[in-house]
Every structure is written in structure tokens, then in C-alpha cells.
Amino acid sequence: MTYVVVENCIKCKYMDCVEVCPVDCFYEGENMLVIHPDECIDCGVCEPECPAEAIKPDTESGLEKWLGINAEYAKSWPNISVKKEAPGDSKEWDGKPGKAELFSPVAGTGD
């Protein structure tokens, strides 16, 4: 089992999650974060910290696509363990439907 970052993280990136992870298994893309499924120890601490409710346990159904994205991009995106300033328009994007189309495969800058 692992926890998975899903669609609503796109263009939110509040990053409250990264500071609480005991094993630093978040990785940063240009407009969202992912969790490395082989590094996550399933502690669940990050889930309630995400104000966008964008972190889910992989035991929830329908997350296959996002689990694949987390697993794939955690291999190449840089690690992030320190919270940065969220983009200025984060709140406007929170909860907007159809954000999956805006997913960017471009790596973020990491710590």
C-alpha cells in the first residue's frame, strides 16, 4: 500500500504535506507533487495535512491512473521536503474540475 497524490494537487501545490512526511518521499513537478510508492511507509500523516484533499490511500478505488503517474514521475522529479511558497493563484484552482488535462510532466526545482 502507498498514499497517492491525485488531480486536485495540480496548480494548488500548497505543500503542507512535504514537511510532515517522516521519510521525505514527495517529489516535485512543475505544477503538482507525487509520492514515491516504494518509499512511502503508509503512515497516513500527510493525508489530513493536505488542504486540497489531494492525498488518498491507494486502497480507494479508481486511483490507478494517479498511482501510475506518482510511480512514474517520482523516479525522475527532484525530492522536496521543505515547504515553499504556494503559487499566488492556488486558491482559485482548488477543486476545479478537469485539471487532469493541465498535468505537466516537466520536473520542478525540488529543495
Which residue ranges make up the site for ligand SF4 (CB under 6 A)? Answer: 3, 5, 9, 12-17, 20-21, 23, 25, 33, 35, 40-46, 50, 52, 54-55
DSSP result, 31-63: S-EEE-TTT------SGGG-TT--EEETTSTT-
Smallest gap from Cβ 79 to ligand SF4, in A, equals 12
Cα 79 from Cα 87, distance rounded (Å): 18
3-class SS at 13?
A: coil
Smallest gap from Cβ 107 to ligand SF4, in A, equals 15
Toward ligand SF4, which CB reaches closer, 53 or 64?
53
Smallest gap from Cβ 41 to ligand SF4, in A, equals 4
Toward ligand SF4, which CB reaches closer, 52 or 67?
52
Give yes or no for a contact between 40 and 25, defined as CB atoms under 8 angstroms apart. Answer: yes
Smallest gap from Cβ 17 to ligand SF4, in A, equals 3
Burial of residue 97 (CB within 10 Å: 0-12, 13-18, 19+) is: exposed
Toward ligand SF4, which CB reaches closer, 1 or 76?
1
